[in-house]
Structure 1
């Protein structure tokens, strides 16, 4: 752990004290992570927590904001996990709130978009993981990636871009219903020319 040096201290933080940097998650993904957790014994649960370090930033008044792993964080909160490890990427605790959020977005560490894909004020970002809204299109984007429709990409908020792509092409009722038929439609769209601008696009299928 010393390889991270003094600029990247590791904190042990209760999940209820973690502050999100986005408005939504795919609740179905959270449920899947909880199911995986239930299938593990005590030793493997401990190992899983130890291997999932949350990248974080210290915000105003020393609050801990996570910039990734929101689904896992919410799952651990709902499962009653007492502590999770957070690697502090930057200390912005001395910034005023407006400056903090502008800086976070500039660094691509904040995603102030709601469950309709609309830009919001920073004040709309919830203060607790338990307040994150469900976005079924975000779940669909994850399902498409897992089914080979696109490659995992390191671009920040890549799956939100995919979610917005599907949001413009698939009706909410169909996405809420889910199922294999919806996934097949989404996979065809994911391999189409119109998706070529998205991170992780895997090309046309002849």
Structure 2
């Protein structure tokens, strides 16, 4: 681990997001899982789930992953979490800070419609992240084996944009807190494995160029 990477305990309400949206269904699932944990299990989870973050202007920590868990913990009134500091950009002006964050793929200023926005539009607190149901769909499709987990940042958002023109937003409403309709997830998995998705990271389908040997 590089010397500048170290752990810091930070109030969860003070964590700064680096994206604009989350999938509300995924946040709800994490809240449900948290509610089922006993005290020791909760402590263990917090110790094992570090929030990777960059120290930015005003010595605030801008997290670059785990936004869904972070919002869930805010709603569950968890006080503090452990942050793994990736870099210290606290001496930079805000404009240069965001330019460097984007250069390192540590920021994703796209709204719930998939449209690019100014960095100033990124919410300053986790509780203000808006719901993008297509991001929830992308997460469910990955869990169902529709595509492989990829180390590239913001992979799920690319998949969300792939699904955006293929499904109506009204059809993505979670039913009674039970998550997305399963029939819709099955349909999305089939599309994810199709040749039209082969340019996306983690694609694991069939391109249509396979020829059976004789």
TM range (shorter): over 0.9
State the Cα distance separating 1:148 from its structure 2 match: 0.8
Residue aligning to 2:102: 105
Could you state the TM-score of these two structures normalised by the residue count of structure 2?
0.92
Of the three residues 149, 154, 168, the one matched with 1:152 is 149
Residues matched between the structures, number: 203
> Where in structure 2 are the equivalents of 1:42-53 lying within 5 Å?
42-53=39-50
What is the CA–CA distance in structure 2 between the aligned matches of 1:159 and 1:5, rounded to whole Å?
28
> Where in structure 2 are the equivalents of 1:2-151 lying within 5 Å?
4=1, 6-151=3-148
SS at match of 1:89: strand
Of the three residues 164, 173, 176, the one matched with 1:176 is 173
SS at match of 1:148: coil
What is the CA–CA distance in structure 1 between the aligned matches of 2:76 and 2:124, rounded to whole Å?
19
SS at match of 1:203: coil
SS at match of 2:138: helix
State the Cα distance separating 1:7 from its structure 2 match: 1.1
SS at match of 2:173: helix
What stretches of structure 2 of length at least 5 have no aligned partner? 175-179, 209-214
What is the CA–CA distance in structure 2 between the aligned matches of 1:172 and 1:74, rounded to whole Å?
22
SS at match of 1:48: helix
Instruction: Extract structure 1 runs of 4+ deviating beyond 3 A.
Output: none
C-alpha distance 201-91 of structure 1, shift in aligned 2 (>3 A): same
What stretches of structure 1 of length at least 5 have no aligned partner? none
SS at match of 2:46: helix
State the Cα distance separating 1:205 from its structure 2 match: 8.5
Could you state the TM-score of these two structures normalised by the residue count of structure 1?
0.95
Residue aligning to 2:211: none
Q: Deviations over 1:24-66 (max 9, x none)?
A: 0001101100111111111111000000001000111111100
